Structure 1
């Protein structure tokens, strides 16, 4: 398992999450992959995937807020 090396974007507290109850987050891992903390919406969205999309049984559909991704955009590498 890879290690978290940095947060992508700003911390949840900088996005208005004072109590920690709504804390989506994105992290870059040492192996170059990304880890996402979000709300598991697999049951709700699985049937809505387009025909050319699929997920393995061990994968989940995770939703993060628009604000989380927009504030992370500047930290996401181009390559």
Structure 2
């Protein structure tokens, strides 16, 4: 199993979370993939996916705030 290398973008506290512990987050993993903590919106969006998109039974659709992704942009590698 892989492990977390680093956070991508600003921490929840830097984005205004008072507790800093319960907000969307993005992490780079040792295997080169990314892990996202977000709100599970699978039940809401699964039937609304475009025709050329699908998800496996073990996959979930998660939502993160725009600010979380925008503030992570500078930390996302180009390749």
TM-score (norm 2): 0.96
Q: Tell whether the 8 Å contact from 2:6 to 2:27 is kept in structure 1 after alignment.
A: yes
Contact 2:12 2:24 in 1 (8 A): yes
Q: C-alpha displacement at 1:21, in angstroms?
A: 6.6
Cα RMSD after superposing both structures: 1.1
In the alignment, structure 1 segments of 5+ residues that lack a partner are none
Q: Is the 8 A contact 2:12 2:21 kept in 1?
A: no
Structure number having the greater helix percentage: 1
- Whether the aligned pair in 1 keeps the contact of 2:11 and 2:20 (CA below 8 Å) is no
Indicate how the Cα distance of structure 1 residues 21 and 3 shifts in structure 2: closer, same or farther if over 3 A, else same: closer
Aligned residues, how many? 79
What does residue 5 of structure 1 align with?
5
Taking structure 1 as the reference length, what is the TM-score of the superposition? 0.96
8 Å Cα contact 2:27/2:34 also seen in 1: yes
